Amino acid sequence: MPPTLRRPTAAPRVELHAVPGLPRIGAGDDLVRLTLAGIDAAGIGLRGGDVLVFAQKVVSKTEGRRVDLATVTPSPRAIEVAARVRKDARVVELILSESTRIVREAPDVLIVEHRLGFVMANAGIDQSNVAADGDCALLLPLDPDASAARLRAQVRQAAGVDVAVLINDSFGRPWRCGAVGVALGCAGLAALRDLRGRPDLFGRTLRVTEVAQADEIASAASMLMGQADEGLPVVVVRGLPARGDPAPARVLVRPAQQDLFR
Amino acid sequence: MPPTLRRPTAAPRVELHAVPGLPRIGAGDDLVRLTLAGIDAAGIGLRGGDVLVFAQKVVSKTEGRRVDLATVTPSPRAIEVAARVRKDARVVELILSESTRIVREAPDVLIVEHRLGFVMANAGIDQSNVAADGDCALLLPLDPDASAARLRAQVRQAAGVDVAVLINDSFGRPWRCGAVGVALGCAGLAALRDLRGRPDLFGRTLRVTEVAQADEIASAASMLMGQADEGLPVVVVRGLPARGDPAPARVLVRPAQQDLFR
């Protein structure tokens, strides 16, 4: 007999809502107030247990992480690296100042270990969509986990709702083409879920023992945020089945000595 | 004056529905029929433009990729590697037979380049959740892109609906802890979206130029699938804003000579 359906249970469901109508965000703007107003105007509502995902770019902007390149004096080392990788020496100066080491360089490519441990192109420094008047660059938040915690506390204070907060960005990766959303900052949920010790259906050890839950959520939100449109930098994720004990995004940085995937 | 909301536009929204009630899947089962029945019973419906994400495990099972370890005779090389990495030599034999090279080995760790180009632990071979009677292993589908295309055609034939299909799995990664969902197979959407040439708001070149759309969707679906529960191996993704010209998941494999992220 061919297999048939088991008694249908409820269909677990996750919804992602991009928050529409946000204005261009600048230094000092009240990102939480604007986000809550946008959520309200769009009829999305906000519920306990929702996850709010903010694009790194808007968090960096509100935190004043924009740098006028006219104020940057490149070091001799920055000038030397910039010539090799064909980038603006002032931008390279910023990249090096945000990094602990260069992982790889090639023409048009500069991959570094960011001071927060992330291995990423250009230390996450962005020259696109920063300003109409040109020569500016946008650095990552000083401490994205702290930013996430602060945004979370502000939401609780302003709306009386307990949400989790992620700050996401797009990273290129080894082995695979294309960038995907990853979590730079996390508050109110477990960035990494530890499944070790949980038996599978037959009592065997699970093959996958740790899930980077925050990165999966960051990728999901990234589907809606797009890249060229600054208008959708905040996404509400609703209905996540599991959460775990809260842990920040910094636990996702794999210590180099444990890294066997390279 | 503090910034205010722009005129609210519609809130872009994506829904993910796990298909409940699926039985344990075995070789030869009609995965599409069961999935459509589950979608129907749960009242999810199926619409043109939906993306159906299948866990690798159920696709491999229906395709008969389960191997009884009693039938496997390990080669001298497999025995040698197995002793070093502390694994069952028969499983190592299967891993090596599915791989083109060993990328890294250590006690309890064997990372290989799978014949399909994926760099992954154990060639994706799974001993968990395969069978109650023990000594079996489950290999990846022979050609996951072809599997996705076949499932897509079957859905169109059975339900008259044009959907995209992904086959996902969980991969560990360099630089970051924890596994995330990635796309092994893809049909009906662009696994990789090329944003090059699209100007940003200010006419600059975008920082991120290619997005691994299929991997982001695979991660999103993975949030709902869980790891220890075999009951939610299929997820319907509805409302994706962009799609692109269809391209299979194999385009996501980064040619080693272009890989600067390691």
In this structure, the answer to whether residues B34 and B163 fall within a common structural domain is yes
In this structure, the answer to whether residues B173 and B237 fall within a common structural domain is yes
What are the tens digits of pLDDT across the range B215-237? 999 999 999 997 445 569 999 99
> Does a structural domain hold residue A6?
no
* CATH number (domain holding residue A229): 3.30.1330.100
* CATH number (domain holding residue B102): 3.90.1660.10
Lowest mean pLDDT among A178-182, B78-82, B123-127: B123-127
Lowest mean pLDDT among A159-163, A177-181, B44-48, B194-198: B194-198
Select from B177, B180, B146, B148 the least CA-distant residue to B164.
B148
Select from B193, B196, B235 the least CA-distant residue to B213.
B193
In this structure, the answer to whether residues B225 and B193 fall within a common structural domain is yes
Query: Which ranges of A42-177 does DSSP label H, i.e. alpha helix?
Result: 56-62, 76-85, 89-97, 144-159
Question: What is the pTM for the complete model shown?
Answer: 0.93
Partners of residue B216 in chain A, C-beta under 8 Å: 180-181, 219-220, 222-223
In this structure, the answer to whether residues A120 and A152 fall within a common structural domain is no
Tell which of B119, B139, B159 closes a domain. B139
Q: Does A84 touch chain B (CB under 8 A)?
A: no
Q: Which two tokens stand for residue B186?
A: 């893809």
Which residues touch A182 (CB under 8 Å, ≥6 apart)?
A: A168, A169, A170, A171, A215, A218, A219, A252, B176
Greater model confidence, A50 or B245: A50
Closest-approach residue (CA) in chain A for B6: A21
In this structure, the answer to whether residues A47 and A171 fall within a common structural domain is yes
In this structure, the answer to whether residues B161 and B245 fall within a common structural domain is yes
Q: Which two tokens stand for residue A45?
A: 């509502």
Give how far Cα B113 sits from Cα of A143, B60, B143, B171, Å.
36, 19, 15, 13
Of A21, A122, A126, the CB nearest to B5: A21
What are the tens digits of pLDDT across the range A191-220? 999 876 555 444 444 555 789 999 999 999
In this structure, the answer to whether residues A155 and A115 fall within a common structural domain is no
> Cα(B16)–Cα(B52) distance, rounded to whole angstroms?
10
In this structure, the answer to whether residues A127 and A222 fall within a common structural domain is no
C-alpha B238: how far from its chain's center?
18
- Structure-token match 């297999």, residue found: A3
In this structure, the answer to whether residues A162 and A72 fall within a common structural domain is no
Tell which of B88, B108, B139 closes a domain. B139
In this structure, the answer to whether residues A127 and A158 fall within a common structural domain is no
Select from A117, A121, A143, A175 the least CA-distant residue to A56.
A143
Domain residue limits at B124: 66-139
Q: Which two tokens stand for residue B147?
A: 């599997």
Q: Does A100 touch chain B (CB under 8 A)?
A: no
> Does a structural domain hold residue A169?
yes
Q: Where on the phi/psi map is residue A80: left (φ > 0), alpha (ψ -120 to 50), or beta? A: alpha
In this structure, the answer to whether residues B55 and B72 fall within a common structural domain is no
Q: Domain count of chain A?
A: 2
| Res. A244: pLDDT tops 60 | yes
What are the tens digits of pLDDT across the range A95-129? 999 999 999 998 888 999 999 999 999 999 988 65
* Stretch A45-62: mean pLDDT: 96
Exposed/middle/buried for B33, CB within 10 Å: 0-12, 13-18, 19+?
middle
Of B212, B222, B226, the CB nearest to A180: B212
* DSSP strand pairing (A180-187 vs A193-194): unpaired
> Cα(A87)–Cα(B205) distance, rounded to whole angstroms?
13
Query: Phi and psi of B79, rounded to 5°?
Result: -65, -40
> How much is the pLDDT for B126?
85
Q: Which two tokens stand for residue B115?
A: 């014949």
In this structure, the answer to whether residues B25 and B113 fall within a common structural domain is no
Tell which of B139, B169, B189 closes a domain. B139
> Cα(A210)–Cα(A190) distance, rounded to whole angstroms?
11
